[in-house]
């Protein structure tokens, strides 16, 4: 819930939607934006510094439209609203079949225990709530790499309950928000949190996808000596072509000053790595969830001492060495926890995609065009999003002649690239 999402809410409201909103991260809310929207436009369940229990309470409340039912559409970021509905439906089906309630103690994941507890409590009040919600839903549009991964997993195993549009893989999202947005907001978060001089430092960027590319470019431009870790030989080769060495984390863990995880995977930096880091090494994450960094292992390490320097900036001291590491935003999105996230212009590209996706889903409701699958917006809409943003930057596009268009087999007005084109 940021200033940028506030404008998205106002846009959806102006288009006729009734909106209920929650945050996608416990540290991401800008309270002044949430207060303004709650006053003027929509019901908002979000504040900066939520506990995990509060976060999931907010998510549940945003989905609660009362006896009249709802929602019809979901704008998701990270897939937590989608997850809650799917887990709720699964629990309701099991309850109807066997009378068995979810048992939160059956999972070792502390956050998922909270999800199951919420669903369990709801089942005792209304055992068909999520089923009715699922039946009413027209679809979801998902913003993030992490949330999209969840959608594709559900589609692959046949459990996706409603149509989904993958916003993340629109070119005007992934190649702009993920790349240029992170290039802007990573150093912003680092400097607000630590005031560290980046120049001259050794910085390890874990992952060289679009997010990692933006982070590496920012750190390199600030004078850091950047190292990339990668599993993908293509991404690794791209880093090398930019003059960025590629090593394993184990190669660099005792030498680097700054560590940034960007992978969207789990267990990237473990407590065994953090023990080996130099004194006051900075560890942070700009992937969506907090499981890229082993925060549980750090919090439960015997004798570990935590000193809060300021909100979302903590020094963790290991008892054996008396060396400390600085962890930002408790391993969650540091650019939102320690700063204000991506700037408005690049988020306008992403949220224009979201609005177009919502309009498309609603327009085609009942037509059968969208099944219980994951879709990407067509190329002509991607180009439209880009076109809408060119004027602000003073750009003038060259126009194809009919002969030129025929020569390369594209329409004069586009789209200009085939779906498989890699920008």
Annotated binding site for substrate: 2, 77, 143, 173, 177
Spatial separation of the C-alpha atoms in residues 263 and 250, rounded to whole Å: 17
3-state class (DSSP) for residue 18 = coil
Spatial separation of the C-alpha atoms in residues 177 and 180, rounded to whole Å: 6
Strands 202-206 and 225-229: parallel
| Alpha-carbon distances, residue 67 vs 43, 139, 227, 362, 388 (angstroms) | 16, 20, 55, 22, 40
Residues written for the chain: 423
- Over the range 273-285, which residues count as b (16 or more CB within 10 Å of their CB) and which as e? bbbbbeeebbbbb
Q: Is 251 left (phi over 0), alpha (psi -120 to 50) or beta?
A: alpha
Spatial separation of the C-alpha atoms in residues 421 and 162, rounded to whole Å: 28
Structure tokens at 42: 């929509």
Spatial separation of the C-alpha atoms in residues 229 and 138, rounded to whole Å: 40
368 Cβ neighbours under 8 A, 6+ residues apart? none
Known binding-site residue numbers for NAD(+): 144-146, 209-214, 230, 286-288, 335, 342
Spatial separation of the C-alpha atoms in residues 372 and 161, rounded to whole Å: 6
Known binding-site residue numbers: 2, 77, 143-146, 173, 177, 209-214, 230, 286-288, 335, 342
> Widest CA span of the chain, in angstroms?
74
SS3 content of the chain, % helix, strand, coil (to 5): 50, 15, 40
Asked if residues 141 and 75 have their Cβ atoms less than 8 Å apart, the reply is yes
Asked if residues 224 and 248 have their Cβ atoms less than 8 Å apart, the reply is no
Element (H, E) at 310: strand 305-310
Asked if residues 356 and 311 have their Cβ atoms less than 8 Å apart, the reply is no
| Triad 7, 384, 186: Cα angle to 5° | 55
Strands (E), 150-224: 164-166, 202-206
191 Cβ neighbours under 8 A, 6+ residues apart? 198
């Amino acid at each position: 819930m940021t200033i940028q999402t506030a404008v998205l809410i106002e846009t959806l409201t102006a288009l006729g939607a009734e909106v209920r909103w929650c945050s996608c991260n416990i540290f991401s809310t800008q309270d002044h934006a949430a207060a303004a929207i709650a006053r003027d436009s929509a019901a908002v369940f979000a504040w900066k510094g939520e506990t995990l229990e509060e976060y999931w309470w907010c998510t549940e409340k945003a989905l609660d439209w009362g006896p009249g039912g709802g929602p019809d559409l979901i704008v998701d970021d990270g897939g937590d609203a989608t997850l809650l509905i799917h887990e709720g439906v699964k629990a309701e089906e099991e309850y109807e079949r066997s009378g068995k309630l979810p048992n939160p103690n059956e999972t070792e994941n502390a956050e998922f225990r909270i999800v199951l507890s919420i669903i369990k409590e709801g089942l005792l009040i209304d055992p068909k709530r999520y089923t009715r919600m699922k039946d009413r839903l027209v679809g979801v549009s998902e913003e993030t790499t992490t949330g999209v991964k969840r959608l594709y997993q559900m589609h692959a195993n046949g459990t996706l309950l409603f149509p989904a549009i993958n916003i993340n893989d629109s070119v005007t999202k992934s190649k702009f928000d993920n790349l240029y947005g992170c290039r802007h907001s990573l150093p912003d978060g680092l400097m607000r949190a630590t005031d560290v001089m980046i120049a001259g430092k050794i910085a390890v960027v874990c992952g060289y996808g679009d997010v990692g590319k933006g982070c590496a470019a920012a750190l390199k431009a600030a004078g850091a000596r950047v190292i990339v870790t990668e599993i993908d030989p293509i991404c690794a080769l791209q880093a090398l072509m930019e003059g960025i060495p590629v090593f394993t984390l184990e190669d660099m863990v005792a030498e680097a000053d700054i560590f940034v995880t960007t992978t969207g995977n789990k267990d990237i930096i473990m407590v065994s790595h953090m023990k080996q880091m130099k004194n006051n090494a900075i560890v942070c994450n700009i992937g969506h969830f907090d499981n890229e960094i082993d925060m549980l292992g750090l919090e439960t390490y015997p004798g570990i001492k935590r000193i809060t320097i300021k909100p979302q900036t903590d020094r963790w001291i290991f008892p054996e060495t008396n060396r400390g590491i600085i962890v930002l935003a408790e391993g969650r999105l540091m650019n939102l926890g320690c700063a204000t996230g991506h700037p408005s212009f690049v988020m306008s590209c992403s949220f224009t995609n979201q609005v177009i996706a919502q309009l498309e889903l609603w327009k085609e409701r009942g037509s059968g065009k969208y099944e219980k699958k994951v879709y990407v917006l067509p190329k002509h809409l991607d180009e439209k999003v880009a076109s809408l943003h060119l004027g602000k930057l003073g750009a003038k596009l060259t126009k194809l002649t009919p002969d030129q268009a025929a020569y390369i087999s594209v329409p004069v007005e586009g789209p200009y690239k085939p779906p498989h084109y890699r920008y």
